[in-house]
Amino acid sequence: MIDKKYADYSWEKASTLLNIDSPTGFTKKAAEFVKKEFSALGFPVEYTVKGGVLADLGGKDDNNALLLEAHTDTLGGMVAEVKSNGRLRITPLGGMNACNAETENVRIYTRSGKIYEGALQLCNASIHVNGDFSTVSRTWDSVEIVIDEDVKTDEDTRKLGIETGDIVCFEPRTRRTESGYLKSRFLDDKLSVGILLGFAKYLKDNGIVLPRRVYVHVTVYEEVGHGGSSTVPGGVTEAISVDMGCVGDGLKCTEKQVSVCAKDSGGPYSYDTVGKLIEAAKAMGADYAVDVYPHYGSDVEATLRSGADIRHGLIGAGVYASHGYERSHIDGVYNTLKLLCGYLNVKKYSSVFLPDNFNILYPHLVAGDKICIVTAAVRTFFCVFGGFICFFTVATVGETLKNNHFKLGVFHIIRFFLCPLKAVRKI
């Protein structure tokens, strides 16, 4: 069973990534971070021409490879007009909604490299002045960016270097509560990028070779619909989008669960893949829910629309208040990791020197990550002692039992050499 520390590691990486501004079309720094993290774990990784990141987690079966897709682009804005009063009208990048973006702090990135602060406000935002404050419909035409600089005209603003086409990034306000809740804008989908980094670290720490080859594609245009439309390595037969699980009225999923999506606005996901994901969740004891999302589209659907002949699925930690100030839970992260391990038949001790059922033969080794030498030595003593007992008793038993005792003796002698070796390796 994967240790929960990898859920904490996933959040650590996700929280760092959340504080790197990366609205769709402005993702270079976020992609650099993701590439650096996969590379530091020792996995081959490269940029796509589109600006995404493709990592190779390895695996045995190249002809039945799995592509895991997540995205690091987020919602945001672009300057559409420098207004005569020096403020900015913006157009959204992705499904940003003016209603839940009002009063949020922003950063404005100019092409010259300067960054200015401001806030998204209703036009004429003072409630003591605007008698229609409560009834005005919040649209992108009724809100504006108020720049935290001394500007009163469009000319003042342009002197700062701010022009149409500049990027507007919204403050994520990332935090984790003592109760384990994770809050931030853009958990969709940086939380899942962190989860895939946590999964990769688990593989690396434990020397695991996956039964099938696995690639990770971190896309950068998901929020506008074409993130996963390219970059499918040869041998890939299946793609699973690791995105956010929907939480809301009419759905079963909570923030503490991993969601398996059966259908969304793009149609049903592969029946076989969904079924196997459910089986894997059950086998791993992952807390999960199966839901149909009413308003949703994923990277893997873009992959299919681009012509890829693959099966597809969608999973993710439950996220509430999507495209707003979102909330999940560390348990949802952990359950997603467990589902990934189960679906890929991950075994903690996957060495060429050990049988595939090592976790069954040596449950005491699988139970924890830290095994001391003293404990290993004591267990080794009993292994050898058991072997000698088996050999010395063969003369006193029948022919059938002789064979069984001989086999058991060999088994204990093998354990004599393997137990301390694996234990010392894990210290």
Active site residues: 222
**Which DSSP helix (H) or strand (E) runs through 381?**
helix 373-392
What burial class does residue 158 get, using C-beta atoms within 10 Å of its C-beta: 0-12 exposed, 13-18 middle, 19+ buried?
middle
- Judged by DSSP in three states, 401 sits in helix
**Phi, then psi, of 49 in degrees rounded to 5:** -60, -35
Question: How many whole angstroms separate alpha carbon 383 and alpha carbon 179?
Answer: 44
Q: What is the secondary structure of 225-237 as a DSSP string?
A: T-TTSS---TTEE
The structure tokens listed for 195 are 């989860």
Residue with tokens 């899942």: 192
The set of residues, in sequence order, having a beta carbon less than 8 Å from that of 186 and lying 6+ positions away, is 18, 74, 75, 172, 326
Q: How many CB atoms lie within 10 A of CB 171?
A: 16
Count of CB atoms within 10 A of residue 381's CB?
11
| Separation of alpha carbons 344 and 129, rounded Å | 60
State which amino acid sits at residue 287.
D
Write phi, then psi, for 240 (nearest 5 degrees).
Answer: -125, 125
- CB neighbours of 65 closer than 8 A, spacing ≥ 6? 59, 212, 213, 214, 215, 233, 235, 236, 237, 238
Q: How far is CA 397 from the centre of its chain?
A: 57
Question: What single-letter DSSP state applies at residue 23?
Answer: B
C-beta of residue 72 within 8 angstroms of C-beta of residue 190: yes
What are the start-end ranges of the H helices in 89-186?
98-101, 154-159
